[in-house]
């Protein structure tokens, strides 16, 4: 084994660039050629052939006196730092010297080398080096919002003249003037966050890329994430068992039965890929784990310091914004690109400044605040923008309160709800077990780079795109519903609002229940006990979701409500399905420490699992007697949950009214058994002494809650929880999976399938492709969303995907959802354009997932028509109107059409992320000229379309005009929507993933 010690000295070898070299060189010590990159340099890929050396794992932890590079046979476990006693040997000296010279040359070429400076430690030595924004001496930077400064630092650090240009840096510095122009910039996040539903197809793609690399005669080990990737398995647990001491174990057993294939695949990925941490099932919710453990705030990678930033394949990745880490949700293709070192293209956003003043009144929770903020921001309009919070009121909000507000950014429509780092952030880092040295480093770096807010010092006013203000004292106890997160209702108005909803016509605030039917009572027997339901009866009460379970104040507040109610003799009716699903094991520890968990148990709020559960619709079945009473009597039943989304049909098919509320209110409504109650005037129930018990009798004061938090939420709880985070549980640990670099695909699996993206891939890029005599597969109007394009939800029994599963021995009960089968391209391709609400002009008003196969005139399912075209060797295109691909960012909205053979989409306009995803999959996006569309040009869709492109990529320019000709004699000009040189490079290679493969092979 190679062994030696590399320590810093006054020589050039002590520079952060050279230290970075050591780490990248260490990462290259395996058989064949290994790839490394320096985060201090422009993002380029280097390689060295080291001969036949055993594949090992490395980690480094930079201190002020030197660097140790250790060999680890185990997988990456800590998001922060590793130590190892084994060292690298001196035999590598000549190679190190060679690469030292190369890196020194690269450093001298960096456009911003002049601001690369050292950050000294107070007691001597240095924390590391960083790109200093103040050193630019540009007064415009002082007025930039803190969130924009993070984008600026990333652009400076990654500036290479190709992926990130100096012009991009200037756009960000000149944000005040450039943002209103909707300019695009590249952004390279520091890391990527995945959950299991969206993470499976990402790992499938990585496994397929390794196969491609192997078939082309290269080293498959080169396919590894180039930035840290954290995947938390949290979306699969359901509340099958509730109100039971063994609910956690029972639900986990069922979770493993349903998801054994998926979990086995992810467990293989956790050992096969470097730089990837997989957190096993039963550990917590991805965003709470991110907040309490994974979030770095500041990276110090081999002595190079930079702000933490993250993109995740879940929309509520924004929760980390409460910690001062810039993060938001993206689609799978973007996430894969980011983890493989590619920049994301994004519009430089406007920033709404949201000033907070005052303090919350007694009895008002963070949940009440976030529902109020959501309503305000939805009304203001913040889609595609950052929201940045500031003001004197910030000091009154705990970090958990801030995270609650940041979490619901998707509900108020913003890309981010950002809270800059201040002393509250530092205190939270200490509380959650981050070391004093780490916290000191975070504070020193952010202060030095003007990214820290110190409210004890005079603050220079920032410039924002628009301004809002809220006095925290104006916030009142609230819920949101019955069908949308931003339809806030104050607690005192709930009864009146409920009756208004019963009266109003069917809509977001209406159920159209006739007056004479509003008093209906459905009597039934619940396990031999007489029971009854009315309109508004609560049948699900769930303390769920990272939005609230990350906040000790509301969790302990809920437990205090349960304690007071129990002591007074109140009890939740047994037919109410109650559940408690914490977002991390820390919650269980402080609830047990406080002695309050037993009161939650007595009210039926036993812990059911550690995952998203009811918040994403994994609420499990209601008791058959309850379901029958609702269905047979057409009862508008209610669910009350501490989640972040309450769209009709999401929580449970039988709960038409769904209200978001704080955990204490969830307990209160469970006790009341109905949302049809005025808590100020009507009693919740009758106590053991025969007297009426009111809401005020069970509601804790802010002082009581604060005392419970201070006494019971301790740093050691976080340390103990996360020291064991990757140890898993017996079911995970005994799960047998294949080993090795390459995945052994099971041809019989209907969950995990080897995708065909790279089957015929060549060593050389195929070059640009035009479209010759293509048929129109689908002819759309405006506002076709990713919901129309991409498979989502349940698999309809009569669908093409259902037929595929039935043919492979899967019965209807085993269909599961499209979400759970995202790792199988055969299922997903069949689900593409399979939405039953699809409006296709070819069908003359008929709605559904069919189209006309033009050569034969047959009306076929879209997938069947697409396969017929492919079998005949015929290209296809899609015609569309405005805003094509709007809605949630879904990678399958681009992957599916590509697998169906679509070569181009011609639309009036595209949603930004979807256009980028089409490019990533090698599909040509074209825009009609302003004022034109298919109708104005007289196109019927029955024409055959030819799109001529130059055969050399060097002859194509971003945004150039392209002529489209048809066999009817009509021709028209479109704008080619490859918007950057990088996107043209992707197209030249047939997509972003082939581009990455060939670049890794070439280097």
Q: Cα–chain-centroid distance for residue 588? A: 25
**Token pair for 545:** 């979701």
Which among 492, 825, 903, 946 is positioned nearest to 678, based on CA atoms? 492
Q: Supply the pLDDT for residue 112.
A: 96
Q: Supply the pLDDT for residue 366.
A: 94
From the number of C-beta atoms within 10 Å of its C-beta (0-12, 13-18, 19+), residue 955 rates as exposed
Instruction: Collect all residues with Cβ–Cβ distance below 8 Å to 359 and sequence separation of at least 6.
Output: 393, 396, 472, 473
Q: Supply the pLDDT for residue 134.
A: 98
Q: Cα–chain-centroid distance for residue 348? A: 20
Mean pLDDT by 10 residues, the chain (1003 residues): 32 36 35 35 34 28 30 36 31 44 57 96 94 97 97 97 94 97 92 92 95 94 93 90 94 90 94 94 94 97 96 92 96 87 89 97 95 94 93 95 94 93 97 95 98 89 95 96 92 97 94 95 96 97 91 96 98 97 95 97 96 85 96 96 84 92 97 97 96 97 96 95 86 90 94 94 93 97 88 82 95 84 95 90 92 97 97 97 82 94 96 87 96 96 96 93 96 94 92 92 81
Q: Supply the pLDDT for residue 979.
A: 87
CA atoms within 13 A on the CB side of 989: 19
**Token pair for 433:** 């077990």
Q: Supply the pLDDT for residue 99.
A: 43
How far, in Å, CA of 240 to CA of 270, rounded? 28
How far, in Å, CA of 235 to CA of 556, rounded? 25
CA distances from 575 to 301, 527, 605, 715, 921 (A): 54, 9, 13, 38, 50
Which among 192, 193, 197, 267 is positioned nearest to 822, based on CA atoms? 197
Q: Supply the pLDDT for residue 16.
A: 35
CA atoms within 13 A on the CB side of 57: 17
Quickly list DSSP for 418-461. Answer: E--B-HHHHHHHHHTT--HHHHHHHHHHHHHTT-B--TTS--PP
> 489 and 481 in contact (C-beta within 8 Å)?
yes
């Amino acid at each position: 084994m190679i062994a030696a010690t590399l320590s810093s000295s006054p020589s050039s070898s002590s520079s952060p660039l050279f230290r970075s070299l050591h780490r990248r060189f260490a990462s290259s010590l395996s058989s064949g050629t290994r790839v490394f990159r320096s985060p201090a340099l422009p993002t380029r890929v280097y390689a060295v052939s080291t001969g036949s050396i055993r594949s090992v794992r490395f980690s480094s932890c930079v201190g002020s006196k030197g660097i140790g590079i250790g060999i680890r046979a185990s997988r990456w476990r800590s998001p922060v730092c590793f130590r190892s006693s084994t060292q690298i040997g001196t035999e590598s000296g000549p190679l190190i010297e060679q690469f030292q010279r190369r890196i020194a040359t690269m450093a001298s070429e960096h456009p911003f080398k002049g601001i690369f400076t050292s950050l000294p430690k107070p007691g001597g030595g240095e924390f590391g080096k960083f790109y200093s924004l103040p050193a630019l001496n540009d007064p415009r930077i002082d007025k930039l919002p803190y969130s924009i400064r993070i984008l600026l630092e990333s652009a400076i650090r990654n500036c290479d003249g190709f992926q990130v240009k100096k012009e991009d840096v200037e756009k960000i510095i000149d944000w005040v003037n450039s943002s209103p122009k909707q300019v695009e910039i590249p952004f390279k996040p520091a890391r990527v966050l995945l959950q299991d539903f969206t993470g499976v197809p990402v790992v499938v793609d990585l496994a397929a890329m390794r196969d491609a690399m192997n078939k082309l005669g290269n080293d498959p080990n080169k396919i590894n994430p180039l930035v840290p990737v954290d995947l938390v398995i949290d979306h699969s647990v359901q509340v099958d068992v509730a109100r039971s001491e063994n609910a956690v174990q029972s639900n986990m057993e069922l979770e493993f039965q349903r998801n054994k294939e998926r979990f086995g695949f992810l467990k293989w990925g956790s050992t096969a890929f470097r730089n990837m941490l997989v957190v096993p099932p039963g550990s917590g919710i991805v965003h709470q784990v991110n907040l309490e453990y994974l979030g770095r705030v500041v990276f110090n990678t081999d002595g190079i310091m930079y702000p933490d930033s993250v993109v995740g394949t879940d929309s509520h990745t924004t929760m980390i914004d409460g910690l001062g880490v810039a993060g938001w949700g993206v689609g799978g293709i973007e996430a894969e690109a980011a983890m493989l070192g590619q920049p994301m293209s994004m519009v430089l956003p406007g920033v709404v400044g949201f000033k907070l003043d005052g303090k919350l009144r007694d009895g008002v929770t963070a949940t009440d605040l976030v529902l109020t903020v959501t309503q305000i921001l939805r009304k203001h309009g913040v889609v595609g923008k950052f929201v940045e919070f500031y003001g004197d009121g910030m000091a009154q909000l705990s970090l958990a309160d801030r995270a609650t507000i940041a979490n619901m950014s998707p509900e108020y429509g913003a890309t981010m709800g950002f809270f800059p780092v201040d002393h509250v952030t530092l205190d939270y880092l200490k509380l959650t077990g981050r070391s004093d040295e780490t916290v000191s480093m975070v504070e020193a770096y952010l202060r030095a780079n003007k990214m820290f807010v110190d409210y004890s010092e005079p603050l220079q006013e920032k410039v924002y795109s628009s301004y809002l203000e809220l006095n925290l004292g104006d916030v009142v106890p609230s819920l949101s519903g019955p069908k949308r997160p931003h339809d806030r209702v104050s607690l005192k108005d709930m009864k009146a609002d409920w009756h208004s909803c019963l009266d109003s016509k069917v809509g977001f605030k209406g159920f159209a229940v006739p007056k004479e039917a509003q008093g209906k009572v459905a009597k039934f027997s619940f396990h031999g006990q007489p029971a009854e339901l009315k309109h508004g009866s609560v049948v699900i009460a769930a303390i769920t979701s990272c939005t609230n379970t990350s906040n000790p104040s509301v969790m302990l507040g809920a437990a205090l409500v349960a304690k007071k109610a129990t002591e007074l003799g109140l009890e939740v009716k047994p037919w109410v399905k109650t559940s408690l699903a914490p977002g991390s094991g820390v919650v269980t520890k402080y609830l047990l420490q406080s002695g309050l968990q037993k009161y939650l148990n007595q009210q039926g709020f036993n812990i059911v699992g550690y995952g998203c559960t009811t918040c994403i619709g994994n609420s499990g079945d209601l008791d058959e007697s309850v379901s029958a009473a609702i269905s047979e009597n057409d009862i508008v039943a209610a669910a009350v949950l501490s989640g972040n989304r309450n769209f009709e049909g999401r929580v449970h098919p039988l709960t038409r009214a769904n209200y978001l509320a704080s955990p204490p209110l969830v307990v209160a409504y469970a006790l009341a058994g109905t949302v049809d109650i005025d808590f100020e005037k009507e009693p919740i129930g009758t106590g053991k002494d025969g007297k009426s018990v009111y809401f005020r009798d069970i509601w804790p004061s802010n002082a009581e809650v604060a005392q419970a938090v201070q006494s019971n939420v301790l740093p050691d709880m976080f340390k103990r929880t996360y020291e064991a985070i990757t140890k898993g549980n017996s079911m995970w640990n005994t799960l047998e999976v294949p080993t090795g670099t390459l995945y052994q695909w099971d041809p019989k699996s209907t969950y995990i399938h080897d995708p065909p993206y790279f089957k015929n891939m060549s060593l050389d890029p195929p070059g640009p492709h035009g479209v010759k005599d293509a048929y129109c597969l689908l002819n759309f109007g405006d506002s076709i969303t990713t919901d129309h394009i991409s498979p989502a939800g349940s698999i309809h029994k009569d669908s093409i995907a259902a037929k595929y599963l039935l043919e492979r021995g899967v019965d209807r009960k085993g269909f599961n959802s499209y979400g759970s089968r995202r790792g199988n391209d055969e299922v997903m391709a069949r689900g593409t354009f399979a939405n039953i609400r699809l409006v296709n002009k070819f069908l003359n008003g008929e709605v559904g997932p069919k189209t006309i196969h033009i050569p034969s005139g047959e009306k076929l399912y879209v997938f069947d028509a697409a396969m017929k075209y492919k079998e005949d060797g015929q290209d296809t295109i899609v015609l569309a109107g405005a805003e094509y691909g709007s809605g949630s960012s879904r990678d399958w909205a681009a992957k599916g059409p590509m697998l169906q053979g679509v070569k181009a989409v011609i639309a009036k306009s595209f949603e930004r992320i979807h256009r980028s995803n089409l490019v990533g999959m090698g599909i040509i996006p074209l825009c009609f000229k302003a004022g034109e569309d298919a109708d104005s040009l007289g196109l019927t869709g029955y024409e055959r379309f030819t799109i001529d492109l130059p055969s050399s990529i060097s002859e194509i320019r971003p945004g150039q005009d392209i002529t489209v000709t048809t066999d009817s004699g009509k021709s028209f000009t479109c704008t080619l929507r490859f918007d950057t040189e990088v996107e043209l490079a992707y197209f030249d290679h047939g997509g972003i993933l082939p581009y990455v493969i060939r670049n890794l092979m070439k280097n």
